[in-house]
C-alpha cells in the first residue's frame, strides 16, 4: 500500500479537510494527530511527514478557515448603483450577517481559534491581520456614508465607524453561534435597522436567500 501514490498537494488538502472535520466535531482542543490521521485514513506518521508538527497543522487549518469565513464583502455589486451610501452600507451589513449566520460550524471554530490566539502569539497575529483586512474592506463604503451626511456624522471617524460595523457583524455572529435554533435573523435585522437611521427599515430580505 505505501509508496508515492498521490501528489503532496492532494494529501495536504485531504489532511486539512479531516482536520476541519475533527475540529468541528470535537473542538480544537479535541483535535489529535491520531484522530485526524484516522479520519483521513492514514497513519499518524504520515500526517507528521506532511505537517512537521501539530502546531503547523493548526496554523494551516486556521488559514484554511480564514479563507472561507473572512472573505471581504463585494461592494461593487450591480443593483447598488445610484443607491444612497447608507442604504448600500446597511445592505452590506445585512448580507454579511446572513452569510456568517448560515455556517455556525465555521464560526464556532473561528471563535475557538480566537481563544487560542489570546495565548498564542502567532495565531493571534495571524488572526488580527486577517481581521484588519476584513475591516479595511468596509472603509470605502463607510467613507461614502460619512461624506453623505456630514452633519449627522460630524465628529465620527472612519476608524470608529468601520470598527462598529464589524463589531456589529460579530455580535450577530456570536448570537447565531450561541443559539443557532432560537435565533431569528429576520427579527434581528428588523430591530437593528429600526434602531439605526431609517435606511432600509422596511426592505425585504435579499431575494434568493432565507
Shortest approach of its own copies to residue 42 CB, angstroms?
Answer: 25
Rounded Cα gap, residues 210 and 192, in angstroms: 18
Shortest approach of DNA to residue 5 CB, angstroms?
Answer: 4
Rounded Cα gap, residues 208 and 210, in angstroms: 7
**Binds 171: which of DNA, its own copies, none (CB < 5-8 Å by kind):** its own copies
Can residue 38 be called a binding residue for DNA (CB under 7 A)?
A: no
Residues in contact with its own copies by the rule CB under 8 A: 26-30, 108, 111-112, 114-116, 118-119, 127-128, 131, 152-157, 159-161, 163-164, 166-172, 174-175, 177-179, 183-184, 187-188, 190-192, 194-198
Dihedral sign (CA 94, 99, 103, 108) = negative
Selected from 42, 62, 88, 107, the binder of DNA by CB under 7 A is 42
Which residue, chain included where needed, has cell 445610484? 82
How many Cβ atoms from other residues are within 10 Å of residue 164's Cβ?
13
Q: DSSP assignment, residue 40?
A: T
Can residue 25 be called a binding residue for DNA (CB under 7 A)?
A: no
The 3-state DSSP class for residue 173 equals helix
Give the footprint of DNA on this chain (CB under 7 A). 1-8, 11, 31-35, 42-46, 48-50, 52-55
Amino acid at each position: 500500500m505505501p509508496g508515492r501514490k498521490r501528489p503532496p498537494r492532494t494529501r495536504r488538502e485531504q489532511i486539512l479537510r479531516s482536520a476541519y472535520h475533527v475540529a468541528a466535531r470535537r473542538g480544537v482542543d479535541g483535535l489529535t494527530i491520531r484522530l485526524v490521521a484516522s479520519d483521513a485514513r492514514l497513519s499518524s506518521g504520515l500526517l507528521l511527514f506532511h505537517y512537521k508538527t501539530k502546531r503547523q497543522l493548526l496554523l494551516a487549518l486556521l488559514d484554511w478557515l480564514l479563507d472561507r469565513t473572512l472573505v471581504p464583502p463585494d461592494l461593487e455589486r450591480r443593483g447598488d448603483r445610484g443607491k444612497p451610501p447608507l442604504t448600500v452600507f446597511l445592505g452590506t451589513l445585512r448580507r454579511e450577517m446572513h452569510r456568517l449566520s448560515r455556517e455556525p460550524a465555521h464560526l464556532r471554530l473561528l471563535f475557538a481559534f480566537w481563544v487560542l490566539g489570546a495565548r498564542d502569539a502567532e495565531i493571534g497575529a495571524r488572526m488580527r491581520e486577517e481581521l484588519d483586512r476584513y475591516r479595511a474592506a468596509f472603509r470605502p463604503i463607510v467613507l461614502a456614508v460619512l461624506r453623505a451626511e456630514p452633519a449627522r456624522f460630524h465628529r465620527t471617524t472612519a476608524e470608529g465607524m468601520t470598527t462598529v460595523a464589524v463589531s456589529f457583524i460579530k455580535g450577530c455572529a456570536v448570537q447565531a453561534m450561541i443559539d443557532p435554533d432560537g435565533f431569528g435573523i429576520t427579527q434581528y435585522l428588523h430591530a437593528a435597522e429600526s434602531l439605526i437611521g431609517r435606511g432600509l427599515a422596511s426592505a425585504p430580505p435579499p431575494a434568493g436567500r432565507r
